[in-house]
Amino acid sequence: MYWYNPKSRASERVDAPSTDEQAIQLLAGTQDSAEFIEEYCKLRCSGTPIEQALVLVGHEFRLRQPEYRLALR
pLDDT, position 35: 93
Q: The pTM is what?
A: 0.84
Residue 53 neighbours by CB under 8 Å, 6+ apart: 23, 40, 43, 44
* 44-73 per-position pLDDT tens digit: 999 999 999 999 999 999 988 776 555 555
Cβ–Cβ contacts within 10 Å for residue 54, how many? 28
Query: Which of 2-6, 32-36, 47-51 reaches the highest mean pLDDT?
Result: 47-51
Q: What percent of the chain has pLDDT over 90?
A: 73
pLDDT average, residue stretch 9-26: 96
Query: Is-contact 5 58, C-beta < 8 A?
Result: yes
**In total, how many domains does the chain have?**
1
Q: Which domain holds residue 39?
A: 2-72
The angle subtended at Cα 37 by Cα 32 and Cα 41, nearest 5°, is 155
